[in-house]
């Protein structure tokens, strides 16, 4: 029995490794040789020991199965510390000036891609790399393919993804690029038959181009959630859960004026879809309904009594939005809210204190 358990444990561990990006413990020259032998490219992650975004990529993005599957299939992957060993010379050769910087090269050292900065979105990271290394996905080539009438999942995913990257390319977001991307995907979706809409190749439509359960595409996804290809069923349900989680958060943090009818629809969706597992939303619903009733004194009392019963995600989000939530409260309630924040500082880390302190200043009239 012990041998069986040990075998299963080792097997599960091996599977978990396969799902992660395989960064090999080899030198730069060994990576080039391996890539030549395996007929792959080389993916280099230039990092430093002090780089926060580098650690975020290592801990959160590279372990993602979809990221690992993509990178392991195309690349021999290596990490290079830009401040140690062969790192400084290689960083200079490839003109690395910020971290993390990701380089993709051929076995004969031709640079195919230089990408600076990390992201929490694994799909966006994959899409960005794919566009940068594929000559058929340059902006000019994709525009040409699109204008010639090509409407494939591969093209629409890449072309719309490029436009989404351009939204935040400069300091001032260009939301027209987002509108273009969403319209492109909507037009593509409208031209698909039901069987095509449910295919695995079109998963990107639902995971990237839905923002609310009320969206037309999201409604289609929710209605047909049990009809999708088995390979994407879990991802579809995860996306549905994410959309409702964001919608409940919007109500909790008062990002828009409270609307009872819209709230009822969202709550019904959560309950009907079985998303309130382990009462994940129960306390949040009480907070939203108290806020929606308009008695801010009673809402503040609820905060004082039940704030700790909110799940961790919603606790921090509400605290980050305190000034907005209490914007229309009278001065007495605002003072209670400010006092509540001060008493909560002891349980916060340094980063949270910095942001919540801004909420405190606004409540006390010092943030203007």
Contact present, 75 and 41 (Cβ < 8 Å) = yes
Query: 31, 51, 103, 333: which one is catalytic?
Result: 51
Confirm whether 303 is a catalytic residue. Answer: no
280: tokens are: 């994940």
Residue 278, class by beta-carbon neighbours within 10 Å (0-12 exposed, 13-18 middle, 19+ buried)? exposed
H or E, element range at 153 = helix 153-167
Contact present, 244 and 273 (Cβ < 8 Å) = yes
Q: How many helices (H) and strands (E) does the chain have?
A: 20, 4
How wide is the angle at C-alpha 12 spanned by C-alphas 8 and 15, nearest 5°? 140
State the maximum Cα–Cα separation within the chain, in Å, rounded to a whole number.
72
* CA–CA separation, 360 and 259 (whole Å): 27
- Provide the 3-class DSSP secondary structure of residue 114: strand
Q: Please count the other Cβ atoms lying within 10 Å of the Cβ belonging to residue 299.
A: 22
* CA–CA separation, 273 and 279 (whole Å): 13
Confirm whether 51 is a catalytic residue. Answer: yes
Contact present, 107 and 32 (Cβ < 8 Å) = yes
Query: 31, 41, 42, 54: which one is catalytic?
Result: 54
Name the CA radius of gyration of the chain, rounded: 24
The residues assigned a catalytic role are 51, 54
């Amino acid at each position: 029995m012990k041998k069986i358990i040990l075998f299963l444990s080792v097997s599960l561990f091996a599977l978990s490794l396969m799902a992660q990006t395989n960064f090999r413990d080899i030198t730069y020259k060994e990576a080039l040789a391996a890539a030549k032998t395996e007929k792959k490219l080389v993916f280099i992650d230039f990092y430093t020991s002090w780089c926060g975004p580098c650690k975020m990529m290592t801990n959160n993005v590279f372990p993602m199965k979809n990221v690992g599957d993509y990178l392991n299939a195309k690349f021999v992957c290596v990490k290079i510390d830009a401040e140690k060993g062969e790192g400084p010379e290689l960083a200079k050769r490839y003109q690395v000036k910020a971290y993390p910087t990701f380089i993709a090269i051929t076995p004969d050292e031709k640079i195919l891609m230089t990408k600076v900065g990390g992201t929490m979105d694994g799909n966006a990271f994959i899409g960005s790399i794919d566009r940068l290394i594929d000559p058929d996905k340059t902006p000019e080539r994709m525009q040409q393919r699109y204008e010639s009438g090509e409407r494939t999942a591969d093209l629409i995913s890449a072309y719309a993804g490029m436009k989404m990257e351009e939204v935040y390319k400069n300091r001032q977001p260009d939301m027209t690029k987002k509108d273009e991307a969403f319209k492109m995907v909507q037009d593509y979706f409208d031209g698909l038959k039901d069987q095509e809409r449910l295919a695995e190749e079109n998963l990107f439509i639902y995971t990237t181009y839905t923002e609310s359960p009320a969206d037309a595409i999201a409604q289609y996804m929710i209605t047909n959630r049990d009809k999708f290809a088995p390979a994407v069923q879990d991802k579809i349900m995860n996306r549905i859960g994410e959309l409702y989680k964001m919608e409940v958060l919007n109500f909790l943090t008062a990002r828009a004026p409270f609307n009872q009818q819209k709230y009822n629809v969202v709550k019904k969706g959560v309950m009907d879809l079985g998303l309130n597992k382990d009462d994940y939303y129960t306390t949040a619903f009480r907070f939203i309904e108290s806020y929606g009733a308009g008695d801010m004194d009673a809402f503040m009392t609820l905060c004082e009594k039940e704030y700790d019963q909110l799940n961790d995600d919603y606790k921090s989000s509400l605290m980050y939005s305190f000034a907005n939530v209490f914007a229309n409260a009278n001065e007495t309630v605002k003072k209670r809210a400010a006092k509540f924040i001060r008493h909560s500082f002891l349980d916060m880390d340094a980063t949270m204190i910095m942001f919540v302190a801004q909420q405190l200043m606004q409540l006390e009239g010092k943030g203007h």
